[in-house]
Chain A
Amino acid sequence: MAAVQTRSERALNRVAIVAVLVITLIFLAPIYWITSTAFKPRNLATTIPPTVLFEPEISPFVKLFTKRSQLREAPSPEEYAAAPWWERMVFDGGEKIVRSGRGEIQPSGYPNRFMNSLIVAITSTVLAVGMGTFTAYGFSRFSVKGEADLLFFILSTRMLPPVVVAIPMFLMYRAVGLNDTHWGLIILYTAFNLSFSVWLMKGFIDEIPKEYEEAALVDGYTRMQAFFKIVIPEAATGIAATAVFCFITAWNEYAFALIMTNRRAQTAPPFIPSQVGSGLPDWTVIAAGTFLFLLPVAIFTFLLRNHLLRGMSFGAIRK
């Protein structure tokens, strides 16, 4: 490391900092847009030029979670006065919350879809990373006949865009009754992610000296115990990185979710755009849905950030 920087190095450094700032801004702009729109009153969401300063409100979220209908006529003053503050927001937007005969608020489809997304993404990530780690360990530690061919075959499943097989998959799923089920999507996403997971994990496990496990074998442990006690903790970084990638892929998947599910097992990505509101599209509600949808990935990535940094550098920083 050069402690003393020359003038040209310092200039270069400044250029780099500016470049990084610009790129960061470009990346953050859509996130800002979504976040700000999610807190805007409906009439400010589509102004030209965009409204930057406004009083944030949570009416988009109230609308996101409830079933609404268009108001034919303004609510009576008594009705308006009797409504809780969040219901008044909906009235102000020219809509009303749909209630059952006994006065219960009807929820929208969003919470359900969000849960579906969580179930499908988490389960498929656990499966893909788990199976991928075992498979990678086998390839890494044992001499497998035709290892190179098998690995290439596994990789080749990623060589065409998945949507190409959407129609045959749809027909097959319909035939076996996997349409619109959690397991249908879980199997699909696990299969997508598995090849990626195997390849990534093989790289990480190859870097763990096999001497550690052999020492454990000699110390009186079985291969399985050695795997869990030595390999898994050592591969934690790789597992975390792989899990984040798999989770994001499964969480964001749109095309198959749109084709394979419509109600019971539908995930958030195909649902959010369908909520264009009653009447004209209500962009604030869509933004609110998207904003909440971004949170799990952000939290997950934030929790694993230390592992990720080391994982992305593929062992370069490893001691």
Chain B
Amino acid sequence: MAHIELKGITKVFGNHAALKNMNIDIADGEFFVLLGQTGAGKTTTLRLIAGLEKPTAGQIFIDGQDVADWGAAERDVALVLQQYSLYPRYTVRENLEFPLKSRIRRVEPAEIKERVDRVAKTLRIEHLLDRKTDRLSGGEMQRVSIGRAIVRKPRVFLMDEPLSALDAKLREALRTELKNLQMNLGATFLFVTHDQIEAMSMGDKIGVLNHGHLVQTGTPQEIYQNPVNTFVARAVGSPPMNLIAGTLAGGEAVASEGCRLPLGNGPATATDGRPLFFGIRPEDLYLDSGAPGEARVHDVENHGVEKIVTLRTSNRELLQATVPARTELEIDEPVRFSWNPEKVVLFDGNSGMSLRHMG
């Protein structure tokens, strides 16, 4: 198991900078999730660590050693991809054996068999061992490719959206399985995804990537409750954080459409009149007949355990709030809303930076 450190990593393809001066520190045994949209640089980060690409600038350390001159084989990392991750024409067993049969590892045949059988048991794929990989379902394939990673006992697991190609139910099941597996192995995981639910539910730490910049790193809680800027606020959470444009006036928030909402004492450090965004999570926005905010119901989504209501304010801003599933609402029905003043996050209206992080 290993400690991974990226220092000032920049990677340029042609005239496109995929990563810009990135610093990441992944502790031994940590489940680190890199969250970002397509093209944010997630896969590039993995490939750099795996040794499949060389950084344009910066250093990568595995257990404190600079691995710049190490090839992919020497770095002893395991890579699980979204697709094409199994060798075609091989059976499941041959796929699992493949990394162990490498000349640099020299594992005894008896031990290979034992390790393969143990992994197959852990992942419940024993019955598939003699099957060819093109006869596997998507979920089975990903199990096998995770198995191929585990069987090696690598220093670090790199996973490139391993669950994205699976259907929703399977994804959920494998998510839990993968997290349990990581805890049992005590292994260092770097998991890349564009799915913020995966990030929130699996990560010990999350790094949010935006166009090659690492915008924020922190525990899921930190990122969720205290996003560093409006990008992270919108990227994490489903539905995302509401951003209400407005200003401060006498310790109260004045939304741009006119209504005044109370604020807690924590974040009110900004001067009156400065353009701001008030960030509020949907679960901290509530409907109340005596509340100051005015809006109409734009849409109602029933999620079973709760409903997600989209509100339309007078200047056609859309806000989302969660309400108990029993709440009956009609489309276009006028409602009044307020928020939990303690939970409001203030962002600068121009830069989008959180005032708390700006200091």
Contact = CB atoms under 8 A, between A and B. Distances in A.
Given A215-B81, A219-B152, 13 more contacts: A214-B50, A214-B72, A216-B98, A217-B52, A218-B51, A219-B78, A219-B102, A219-B148, A220-B99, A222-B73, A225-B102, A230-B87, A234-B88
A32 interface: no
B39 interface: no
Main secondary structure, interface of A, reads: helix
17 contacts: A211-B81, A212-B84, A215-B79, A215-B85, A216-B98, A217-B71, A218-B51, A218-B75, A218-B79, A219-B99, A219-B102, A220-B73, A220-B76, A220-B99, A220-B105, A221-B103, A234-B89
A319 B132 CA distance: 14
Interface in B61-80: 71-73, 75-79
A217 B72 CA distance: 6
A233 interface: yes
Interface of B: 50-52, 71-73, 75-79, 81, 83-85, 87-89, 98-99, 102-105, 134, 148, 152
A206 to B, nearest CB: 14
Contacts of B77: 218
Nearest to B134: A319
Interface of A: 209, 211-212, 214-222, 225, 230, 233-234, 319
Nearest to A219: B99
Given A214-B52, A215-B81, A220 B102 contact: yes
Nearest to B47: A214
B133 to A, nearest CB: 11
Contacts of A219: 73, 78, 98-99, 102, 148, 152
Contacts of B76: 220
A319 B134 CA distance: 9
Most chain A C-beta atoms within 10 Å of own C-beta, residue among B102, B103, B134: B102
Contacts of B99: 219-220
A211 B85 contact: yes
A221 B87 contact: no
A209 B50 CA distance: 18
Nearest to B152: A219
A209 B98 contact: no
Contacts of A216: 87, 98
Nearest to A210: B84
Given A217-B72, A220-B73, A220-B104, A233 B89 contact: yes
Nearest to B76: A220
Contacts of A225: 102-103
A300 B89 CA distance: 24
B73 A218 contact: yes
